[in-house]
Amino acid sequence: MPVTTLDPAPTLALEGGSANREPLIGLSRAALAERLRTLGVPERQIRMRLSQLWSWLYVRGLTDFAGMTDIASALRTELAERFTLARPEIVTEQVSVDGTRKWLLRLSDGKEVETVYIPEADRGTLCISSQVGCTLTCSFCYTGTQHLVRNLTASEIVGQIMLARDRLGDWPGAVADDPRGIPDAERKITNVVLMGMGEPLYNFDNVRDSCLVAADGEGLSISKRRITMSTSGVVPEIPRWGEEAGTMLAISLHAVRDELRNQLVPINKKWPIRELLDACRAYPGLSNAKRITFEYVMLKGVNDSVADAKALVRLLAKIPAKINLIPFNPWPGAPYECSDWEQIEKFAEIVNRAGYASPVRSPRGRDIMAACGQLKSASIKQRASERLAS
């Protein structure tokens, strides 16, 4: 497995460290304008300066203020003294045989998260994390076994996109240091999914703010239709997410009966399937052009019967939906096995016949543990293996 360990001191650390400087990445336009005011930029210049800065940050991907040639040098110096454009630090970068790329990133307090890039023929999807670990304990998910949990800041969430674009050479005129598996497309990242570590709706404000920055048409320009937020089912926050963020929605359903879903996705005990689907039916903007994705992990002998498949299509009838069947991705000590391919095909056929297209999500990056539900910080894995060894 190819593991590239990068220089632990990235370019920005050379500028004198970012410990006391506030990150600008991830701030809303309004917050950024406020920062410019505090630096004494006159009111009549705020709009212009804001749009210059925004463009340097999010269209050009600059990592230092010195290159912002249309901004007065005194202002550039002040910006550099007070603020940082640092990305999360890369601990490792792994490239799978199928081109999937996984970064283990270290945040300013030493905590770690993972980000995954999945290139396909017609798109490039970045799977980002919203929390360090996850407070929920879905029984088939590796992230849920990690106890160390905190919310990511908006800066750390948008920072994952910035870092990925840096490494993929996805800025105008940029070239990737390591081009393995990177498609020859004008834009390397066309889609973003909040399907990494964490429950996005438990970090609502920061995740919303970062989606708004990512979707800004004069910046990163990843439209809301190309951003998907996946939730295990935090029902009361779903309508607010639709109103305030308005991205595409994915629901981790995984079972058609409450009794089983209670075991697989324990948050179901609080908000059962019926309430979850009611919230889905009421999701703002829902239509055949804007469908909800229902994720369904295939667990051998647990939720993969023909009866389950039939119940699934009955349950989702009348909801504009896509169904994503995810082969279970194993992890060390997991209490489940992936369904047999024959069974997955049988299940898929029933789902297909009910009118849902291309339902099986092929596992990507399994050789580097980058597939769904396999994410967990490497240092924690290492500590666990040290414990086993002692």
Catalytic sites, residue numbers: 114, 372
Binding range to ligand SF4, per CB under 6 A, among 78-86, 139-147, 276-284, 303-311: 139-147
Cα separation, 25 vs 9, whole angstroms? 19
Q: Provide the minimum distance between the beta carbon of 372 and ligand SAH in the complex, in angstroms, as a whole number.
A: 3
Spatial CB neighbours of 3, under 8 Å, sequence gap ≥ 6: 92, 93, 94
Name the nearest CA neighbour of 250 among 284, 315, 296: 296
Residue pair 216/59 in contact (Cβ under 8 Å)? The answer is no
Residue from 125, 191, 228, 232 binding ligand SAH (CB under 6 A): 232
Tell me if 232 contacts ligand SF4 by CB under 6 A. Answer: yes
Tell me if 199 contacts ligand SF4 by CB under 6 A. Answer: yes
Tell me if 119 contacts ligand SAH by CB under 6 A. Answer: no
Tell me if 347 contacts ligand SAH by CB under 6 A. Answer: no
Beta bridge partners of 364: none
Is 300 strand, coil or helix? coil
Spatial CB neighbours of 227, under 8 Å, sequence gap ≥ 6: 191, 192, 193, 194, 211, 214, 215, 247, 248
Strand order in 89-95's β-sheet? 3-4, 89-95, 101-106, 112-119, 124-127, 191-194, 227-231, 248-252, 292-298, 321-327
Tell me if 125 contacts ligand SAH by CB under 6 A. Answer: no
Q: Provide the minimum distance between the beta carbon of 59 and ligand SAH in the complex, in angstroms, as a whole number.
A: 29
Instruction: List binders of ligand SF4 among 107-136 (CB under 6 A).
Output: 134, 136
Give the containing element (helix H, strand E) for 29.
helix 29-38
Tell me if 304 contacts ligand SAH by CB under 6 A. Answer: no
Cβ-count burial 265-303 (b if 16+ within 10 Å, e if not):
bebbeebbbeebbebbeebeebeeeebbbbbbbbbeebb
Residue from 141, 214, 302, 348 binding ligand SF4 (CB under 6 A): 141
Q: Is 260 left (phi over 0), alpha (psi -120 to 50) or beta?
A: alpha
Site size toward ligand SAH (CB under 6 A) is: 18
Spatial CB neighbours of 40, under 8 Å, sequence gap ≥ 6: none
Residue from 83, 140, 271, 294 binding ligand SAH (CB under 6 A): 140
Tell me if 117 contacts ligand SAH by CB under 6 A. Answer: no
Tell me if 141 contacts ligand SAH by CB under 6 A. Answer: yes
Residue pair 22/82 in contact (Cβ under 8 Å)? The answer is yes
Instruction: List binders of ligand SF4 among 270-299 (CB under 6 A).
Output: none
Tell me if 68 contacts ligand SAH by CB under 6 A. Answer: no
Q: Which residue is nearest to ligand SAH (CB)?
A: 373
Instruction: List binders of ligand SAH among 77-116 (CB under 6 A).
Output: none
Q: Provide the minimum distance between the beta carbon of 289 and ligand SAH in the complex, in angstroms, as a whole number.
A: 23
Please, which residue, 144 or 365, has the CB nearer to ligand SF4? 144
212 binds, among ligand SAH, ligand SF4, none (CB under 5 to 8 A by kind): none
Instruction: List binders of ligand SF4 among 308-367 (CB under 6 A).
Output: none
CA neighbours closer than 13 Å in the CB half-sphere of residue 114: 30
Q: Provide the minimum distance between the beta carbon of 265 and ligand SF4 in the complex, in angstroms, as a whole number.
A: 6
Tell me if 207 contacts ligand SAH by CB under 6 A. Answer: no
Residue from 329, 359, 364, 369 binding ligand SAH (CB under 6 A): 329
What DSSP line would sit under 214-281, residue for residue? HH-TTTT---GGGEEEEES--GGGHHHHHHHT--EEEEE---SSHHHHHHHSGGGGTS-HHHHHHHHH
Tell me if 230 contacts ligand SAH by CB under 6 A. Answer: yes
Residue 258 identity (one-letter amino acid): D
Instruction: List binders of ligand SAH among 249-288 (CB under 6 A).
Output: 252
Cα separation, 231 vs 147, whole angstroms? 19
Q: Under the rule (CB under 6 A), what is the footprint of ligand SF4?
A: 134, 136-138, 141, 143-144, 198-199, 232, 252
Report the interface residues with ligand SAH, using CB under 6 A: 134, 138, 140-142, 195, 199, 230-232, 252, 295, 297, 326, 328-329, 372-373
